Amino acid sequence: MNIYINDNIAGFDVEAALPLLSEQRREQCLKFKHEQGRKTCAAAYLLLCEGLKKEYGITEKPVFEYGEHGKPVIVGFPHIHFNISHCREAAICVLSNQPIGVDIESIREYKESLVRYTMNDAEIDEITHSQNPALAFIRFWTMKEAVLKLSGEGIRNNMKTVLTGHEPINTVVNEEKGYVYSVVY
């Protein structure tokens, strides 16, 4: 597994990046109303391109097809497993020789109703007794979303049981840059 991350989104030049994207990704990128969304969408794709070149010698612009629940696969390269994610501060891409999931999120305040809806009793207890409950919540959230992206399910109704039986999950906290990411395989 290899991780590619760009946590300098503020300095990312989306106009210079647009010609480097596939037509499919450029259209997706330009659907974002705000420049921030366009930046992170383009940055995540370019991380994938970087990884494909370094690890597989692939220099063509990847085009995606999507599974039943929206999980992307690279057309012509179904054996290459990857996952991308982005938040306000960073974009991330992971490549692996086996199915993989990743999620990255900004560290921010949360709503208690969201915690109660998505976390089980043990997770709620850990969050509420943490020195930094917002960070603890985001850590759990990225873990759950990475697991769901691994399976290709996406966010589902019963988020409370998502982490049951899923190991290993690697989580990295970057408080200085304001994000958390989790990778599961």
Band of pLDDT at residue 174, cut at 50, 70 and 90: very high
Q: Could you read off the pLDDT of 31-87 as tens digits, one per residue? A: 999 999 999 999 999 999 999 999 999 999 999 999 877 889 999 999 999 999 999
Q: How far apart are CA 118 and CA 116, in angstroms?
A: 6
Band of pLDDT at residue 157, cut at 50, 70 and 90: low
For the cut 80, the answer to whether the pLDDT of residue 8 exceeds it is yes
For the cut 80, the answer to whether the pLDDT of residue 163 exceeds it is yes
Report in angstroms the alpha-carbon separations of 78 from 52, 97, 150.
13, 11, 15
| Tokens 């970087």, residue located | 50
Average pLDDT taken over every residue of the chain = 94
Q: How many residues does the chain have?
A: 185
Q: Could you read off the pLDDT of 97-126 as tens digits, one per residue? A: 999 999 999 999 989 999 999 999 999 999
Percent of the chain with pLDDT over 90: 85
User: 65: part of which helix (H) or strand (E)?
Assistant: strand 64-66
Please give the model's pTM, rounded to 2 decimal places: 0.93
Note the pLDDT of residue 156: 67
